[in-house]
Structure 1
Amino acid sequence: MILTARTTRGREKTAINALESKVKGKDVDIRAVFHPEDLQGYIFIEGNEADIRKVANDARNINGIIDEEVEVDEIEKYLSEEQEDIKLEVGDKVEVIGGPFKGEEAKINRVDETNREVTIELLDAAVPIPTTVDADMVRKKAQQ
């Protein structure tokens, strides 16, 4: 069974990480969790309905389960595309796409691949203060 969970918009990957941490080491039937990039505010969870509801109920950034099962053919278009993982590196110029600094330009000072975080320095700030944000909250700017 596949169910759809409503999430805080822009926090889909955080919600997935919260679910994964709740499932680890527990005897629950959740087989897959997935978020299509172009569908903000929702994630799909495959598994036993009772287990999905129990785990999602107290997972961070999940705001509820939609009471309608999703068929695989309805989400197949999202599954067939392979997405290229864009590598972030120290010195890259990025745009912050979420959180309190949304819309700001920044430069990457450090990359923590284990925790999927980057330490950035805002370019337009009067005093440059290093700030650590989720790597999903920045988008690499095109080279000029």
Structure 2
Amino acid sequence: MSSAQTAPSRIFAIRTTAGQEKNVALLIERRCIAKNIPVKAIISPTDVSGYVFLEASGPNIVNLAIEEIKHVKGWVAGKVEFEDIMRFIMPKPVVEVIEVNDKVEIVSGPFKGMQAKVTRVDRAKAEVTLELLEAPYTLPITIHAEQVKVISRAETPKPEAKESEKEQKTDIFEAFSKLEEE
């Protein structure tokens, strides 16, 4: 009676050249398949720059998987908890990402393919109110947030512009104080 017990797997962080994470993940995958290295998972989240995560039973397996691979700088000593990388794996709801004044494209429904500007976001109902940019007149529509895709973010005012507004206000206040003195 024999029972095959496998070592508990751990997650290891592999340091890579920034921007080459996907290439490194593909190279590691090919090596693991070719040399039959028992790596259980390779994760390359887009939110984490310069790192690829491997799930393996030990550091010796990680060393076999990454040795002499281009753009690999090494691996971080220590254990990475699954909960730490879970937030990068789980998709974020679209309604959490959308902000007022974002430019979006409608991906389903009767207005599919049209571009619009977000005027209101109702996070509780997961709905967005849009103004169609391609319509000859202002046409506000309310649709589910899953039916849109963000094309570009709303521009945030630059701090320099805020400073110039403060300067203008002080000039106005100076003018009023001069008038009061006269």
| TM-score normalised over the length of structure 2 | 0.43
Look at both structures and tell me which one has the larger radius of gyration over its CA atoms.
2
Unaligned runs of 5+ in 1: 84-141
Unaligned runs of 5+ in 2: 1-9, 94-150, 153-182
**In structure 1, what residue type is equivalent to 2:73?**
N
Distance 1:18 1:82 in 2: 28
Q: Aligned pair 1:72/2:87, yes or no?
A: no
Bigger fraction of residues in helix: 2
Instruction: Give 3-state SS (helix, strand or coil) of 1:24's partner.
Output: helix
> Number of residue pairs matched?
86
Q: Aligned pair 1:18/2:52, yes or no?
A: no
Distance 1:50 1:14 in 2: 22
Bigger fraction of residues in strand: 1
Distance 1:82 1:17 in 2: 25
Residue 67 of structure 2: aligned partner: 57
- Percent sequence identity is 24
Q: Aligned pair 1:43/2:39, yes or no?
A: no
**In structure 2, what residue type is equivalent to 1:41?**
G
**Aligned CA distance change for structure 1 residues 70 and 57 (closer, same or farther; 3 Å):** same
| TM-score normalised over the length of structure 1 | 0.54
Residue 37 of structure 2: aligned partner: 28
RMSD: 2.2
**Aligned CA distance change for structure 1 residues 82 and 26 (closer, same or farther; 3 Å):** farther
**In structure 2, what residue type is equivalent to 1:70?**
V
Q: After the TM superposition, which parts of structure 1 deviate over 2 Å for at least 4 consecutive aligned residues?
A: none
Q: Please tell me whether the aligned partners of residues 37 and 64 of structure 2 are also in contact (alpha carbons under 8 angstroms).
A: no
